[in-house]
Amino acid sequence: LKSSKSIETVSFVGSGNVATHLAVALKGAGVEVAEVFSENTENAKTFAIKLQCSIAESIQNFKMTSDLTILTVPDSKIVEVSKLLPDSDSIVVHTSGITDISVLNGREHYGVFYPLQTFSKERKVDISEVPFCIEANNENDFNLLMELAFKLSNNVKKVSSDQRKLLHLTAVMVNNFSNHMYHLAQEILENNNIDFDFLLPLIQETALKINDVHPAKAQTGPARRKDNSTIKEHLKMLNEFPEYQEIYKLLSEQIMKKYHE
Amino acid sequence: LKSSKSIETVSFVGSGNVATHLAVALKGAGVEVAEVFSENTENAKTFAIKLQCSIAESIQNFKMTSDLTILTVPDSKIVEVSKLLPDSDSIVVHTSGITDISVLNGREHYGVFYPLQTFSKERKVDISEVPFCIEANNENDFNLLMELAFKLSNNVKKVSSDQRKLLHLTAVMVNNFSNHMYHLAQEILENNNIDFDFLLPLIQETALKINDVHPAKAQTGPARRKDNSTIKEHLKMLNEFPEYQEIYKLLSEQIMKKYHE
């Protein structure tokens, strides 16, 4: 890519949730989605129909004529895929939180285009709020990737591989582990014929609160106030769920330590 | 209270966050806040000025002339306070998640008025969305409490003490434990000079997503897809935080079990 040019065409290797959400957003921003390849041929077809793009029959036959090639394959496949792709001037980026930029150093132009958000088929995400973490192997490609990301989102940052890995680790904590709490709560309530929807306003408020209040200050509840009798009663109520008891115990101990040691 | 009358005046024992949020909402709904007592005299004064009500100098001098007396004292004080309060026709309710209605059975009229939400000074909560769990020792008082709660919220339900305890237990999980995850994430990121605000859109989306998607289906991430190499790398990154490592390990194991056993 010449330094004056911006990214006008994009292709995808992989056709899952991240690929689909990104491709739809890019197309909406006036970027052409040219080509897709996926080992999951059904997914690839759905993607190609939705984005009206061509399908490569194999990774070796990928045309690679787009300004940018976005890899949304599993982390363990990134190196292999980047080596199988034909030589080209196309910038090759991965979208992984945990993978170092250096795994792509067999390419001439490479980088990272990491959207820090949870994507699923069932929900439309407001992409303009999604933080994009950008990295590239040279300044010109970096600027092109930044420019592209800003077409999608107001929240685009230069983030090093080490910083991105820490964001990914903490994203697992705030997303996967919080969602696991919702899952346990839902199980316990349904087991007792109580509607899980009772908890939805509390769940929303818990997440919204930290927009205004530091999480250390936002904490409340029995462990925060060292209310051992409530903790004891809750643990007793969890007798039929020994695994959840273990989580309750460990987390309560750690919260108590934070505020009472 | 005669069965035809509705609750028109309310008094509070306790003057913390729950008392203040409830009192402001009740006043806004046209209910008179008449009297407050709190062992924390500073808090009581602030409350009395804000709500323009009288202050009792001791619990024994509490006038008890309101239709309803709301106890927002610590759980361990509810029985004692309910016994020290003068005899009266006033309905005495507590606002505790974990405390059985029966602890108030020394009174003639009693019940539970439990708002299932997290309240703090720093944030205004939309009370019309807060689920209220209502219980009373007789049908007339129950109806009066339901009527009053519906003046504040669209989400008012009859909930037994046993059901309420389960809601309280699961509220601790989805609120306190999720907030603890935010707290750990914030600590890890600040420790590495990374802005915690990066995670806010993800945190909001995690909570909003379960309005549309069952928490079991909403789960994503390394444990969900049994991505052992990412889990191993995350655990290594947590070497300097052995306690957080323990949480990461336990929760990842349990998520993996849910989906891969």
pLDDT attached to residue A5: 83
pLDDT attached to residue B5: 83
pLDDT > 70? residue A56: yes
pLDDT attached to residue B48: 97
Mean pLDDT of the A122-144 span: 95
Residue B180 near residue B160 (C-beta atoms within 8 A):
no
In a mutational test of the B interface, the residue from A174, A187, A193 whose CB has the highest number of chain B CBs within 10 Å is A174
- Tell if the CB–CB gap between B219 and A179 is shorter than 8 Å: yes
Taking the Cβ of residue B108 and every Cβ of chain A, the question of whether any pair is shorter than 8 Å is answered with no
pLDDT > 70? residue B3: no
- Tell if the CB–CB gap between B118 and A211 is shorter than 8 Å: no
pLDDT > 90? residue B66: yes
Contacts of A121 in chain B (CB under 8 A): none
Going by C-beta distance under 8 Å and a sequence separation of 6 or more, which residues neighbour residue B111?
B91, B92, B93, B101, B104, B134, B135, B136, B137, B141, B142, B145
- Give the DSSP H or E segment for B236: helix B228-237
pLDDT attached to residue A4: 54
Which residue among B118, B163, B251 sits closest to A220, beta carbon to beta carbon? B118
Taking the Cβ of residue A124 and every Cβ of chain B, the question of whether any pair is shorter than 8 Å is answered with no
Contacts of A200 in chain B (CB under 8 A): 210-211
d(CA B261, CA A205): 33
Q: What is the mean pLDDT of chain B?
A: 95
Q: State percent of chain A over pLDDT 90.
A: 94
pLDDT > 80? residue A69: yes
Taking the Cβ of residue A154 and every Cβ of chain B, the question of whether any pair is shorter than 8 Å is answered with no
Per-residue pLDDT tens digits for A154-206? 999 999 999 999 999 999 999 999 999 999 999 999 999 999 999 999 999 99
Per-residue pLDDT tens digits for B205-224? 999 999 999 999 999 999 99
pLDDT attached to residue A32: 98
Which residue among B167, B169, B254 sits closest to A243, beta carbon to beta carbon? B254
Per-residue pLDDT tens digits for A91-117? 999 999 999 999 999 999 999 999 999
Distance to chain A for B26, nearest Cα, Å: 20
Per-residue pLDDT tens digits for B153-190? 999 999 999 999 999 999 999 999 999 999 999 999 99
d(CA A59, CA A84): 7
Mean pLDDT of the B66-87 span: 96
Taking the Cβ of residue B29 and every Cβ of chain A, the question of whether any pair is shorter than 8 Å is answered with no
Per-residue pLDDT tens digits for B83-103? 999 999 999 999 999 999 999
Distance to chain B for A156, nearest Cα, Å: 10
Nearest chain B residue (CA) to A186: B215
Dihedral sign (CA A85, A90, A96, A101):
positive
Nearest chain A residue (CA) to B214: A183
Taking the Cβ of residue B183 and every Cβ of chain A, the question of whether any pair is shorter than 8 Å is answered with yes
Query: Which stretches does DSSP call E strand in B118-166?
Result: 132-136, 156-158
Local structure of A85: helix, strand or coil? coil
What tokens were used for B205? 């989306």
Confidence label for A121 from pLDDT (cuts 50, 70 and 90): confident
pLDDT attached to residue B4: 54
Strands B91-94 vs A68-71: parallel, antiparallel or unpaired: unpaired
- Tell if the CB–CB gap between B205 and A254 is shorter than 8 Å: no
d(CA A173, CA B184): 8
pLDDT > 70? residue B2: no
Going by C-beta distance under 8 Å and a sequence separation of 6 or more, which residues neighbour residue A169?
A98, B188, B234, B237, B238
Which residue among A172, A174, A204 sits closest to B222, beta carbon to beta carbon? A172
Smallest CA-to-CA distance from B234 within A171, A250, A249, A157 is with A171
